[in-house]
Chains A and B, each alone.
Chain A
Amino acid sequence: QKEVEQDPGPLSVPEGAIVSLNCTYSNSAFQYFMWYRQYSRKGPELLMYTYSSGNKEDGRFTAQVDKSSKYISLFIRDSQPSDSATYLCAMSASFQGAQKLVFGQGTRLTINP
């Protein structure tokens, strides 16, 4: 079983829809939770970053972390064609004196005009 599970999709929704992306994890040591966006043929870029449980909002994006359920989500409101990309969840913890960062498989998202 992978430490971080993410539905690879693909996910296709119409422009303006609310998108929900999710990841589950098994390692309770994870404390930091991130969402990266990766456009085709580009490197991942940090989109959202949260520490421990709770919500964080940034414009049209909201990240939620539920540590009790080991479940994180990213919501995209009023989705735009420019949001079409692969979204990777990632989580980290200090491990043997260094940062251990584990990524989900990534969900490929397409927003149709």
Chain B
Amino acid sequence: DSGVTQTPKHLITATGQRVTLRCSPRSGDLSVYWYQQSLDQGLQFLIQYYNGEERAKGNILERFSAQQFPDLHSELNLSSLELGDSALYFCASSVGHGLAGGETQYFGPGTRLLVL
């Protein structure tokens, strides 16, 4: 168990809908990262938050947004969902902001999203 929790575990929704995925980082970790994992694209970095502020952006679509709250939990909002958004969404956390590079990230169990 990595100490990172994600809810829900599974989510089934329809195209055009909006969903919110939730992540609680390990105790003491200030950074939260969001990833998307699909069969054809592999694991793709979406966005990082550090202590409530956006730190880095990867391949995140404009339909997607995230935030980190004062208690450090984070939410990933996916809107106007398309069939191609079906994937595993992982949250990871780390202690610092990653400026030194190579900081270990601990992954949660993921949320499996199916868009019908």
Interface set of A (CB-CB < 8 Å, partner B):
31-32, 34, 36, 42-46, 49, 51, 88, 92-106
Nearest chain B CB to A51's CB is how many angstroms away? 6
Total interface residues on B, CB under 8 Å, equals 26
Of A36, A44, A45, A104, chain B has the most CB atoms within 10 Å of the CB of A44
Cα–Cα, bound, A36→B105 (Å): 10
Known: A42-B109, A43-B109, A46-B106. A102 touches B45 (CB 8 A): yes
Interchain Cβ contacts within 8 Å, total number: 71
* Cβ of B48 under 8 Å from chain A: yes
B55 at the interface (CB under 8 A from A): yes
- Since A94-B101, A106-B42 are in contact, a sample of 18 more A-B pairs with Cβ atoms closer than 8 Å, ordered by chain A residue number, is A31-B102, A42-B109, A43-B109, A44-B107, A46-B105, A46-B106, A49-B104, A88-B42, A92-B101, A92-B102, A93-B101, A95-B56, A98-B55, A98-B56, A99-B97, A99-B98, A99-B99, A100-B45
In the assembly, what is the distance between CA of A34 and CA of B101, in Å? 12
Provide the bound-state CA to CA distance between A105 and B110, in Å: 17
Interface residues of B (CB under 8 A from A): 2, 4, 33, 42-45, 48, 55-56, 90, 92, 97-110
Does B99 contact A94, Cβ atoms closer than 8 Å? yes
* A51–B33 alpha-carbon span in the complex (Å): 21
The residue on A at minimum CB distance from B56 is A98
Contacts of A42 in B (CB 8 A): 109-110
